[in-house]
Chain A
Amino acid sequence: ETGVTQSPTHLIKTRGQQVTLRCSSQSGHNTVSWYQQALGQGPQFIFQYYREEENGRGNFPPRFSGLQFPNYSSELNVNALELDDSALYLCASSVPDGQETQYFGPGTRLLVL
């Protein structure tokens, strides 16, 4: 068990809609990263939050945005959904213990029709 939970587990949306995905990690895990994993591919880095501020961003458009809250939970928001946004969305959290190993949650599978 990684102590990282995500909700919902599955979600179906239509093109143009907006979606919010949620992640909750253990106390003390003040760094959270979000990844997109298309079917049959490795995860791709979307962005990272540290102490509620964005701390790095991958090659994703601004319609992908996020928030991190003081209770170590986090949100990924995607506006104007496109068919290619269909994927498994993973969050990973780490603790600043010198090792900073990233532990992944089970993911949210998003299908855009």
Chain B
Amino acid sequence: GENVEQHPSTLSVQEGDSAVIKCTYSDSASNYFPWYKQELGKGPQLIIDIRSNVGEKKDQRIAVTLNKTAKHFSLHITETQPEDSAVYFCAASLNAGNMLTFGGGTRLMVKP
């Protein structure tokens, strides 16, 4: 089955700096790669996703890149703000509606 590894497990940045979180996956059949943000006491919130037919996707300060050959994808957050502090999870699946396999999570702390 699919296995997703996520690094780093914790990341501390100064407000205004960029943050990068990386994930690798094992199943070359995976085609859908979402990123979720989870705040304390809440469920995961989808922040961006990418499908295998594109290599990069941007939404304001957030971007995701995908390298299907190397089987890795990354989340980039620019101009970080204190409200970006949360746990971020990457995931992979065959299609968006199928079971998601999650990475272990990255705790991002943005210091004001």
Contacts and interface: CB of A to CB of B under 8 A. Distances in A.
Contacts of B46: 101-104
Contacts of B102: 42-44
Interface string A36-65: 000011111100100000001010000000
Contacts of A58: 99
B100 A45 contact: yes
A2 interface: yes
A11 to B, nearest CB: 15
A8 to B, nearest CB: 14
B99 A42 contact: no
A31 to B, nearest CB: 6
Interface of B: 4, 6, 34, 36, 41-46, 49, 89, 91, 95-105
Interface string A4-18: 101000000000000
Interface residues of A, number: 28
Interface of A: 2, 4, 6, 31, 33, 35, 40-45, 48, 56, 58, 90, 92, 94, 96, 99-107
A42 B97 contact: no
Contacts of A6: 43
A58 B98 CA distance: 11
Contacts of B49: 101
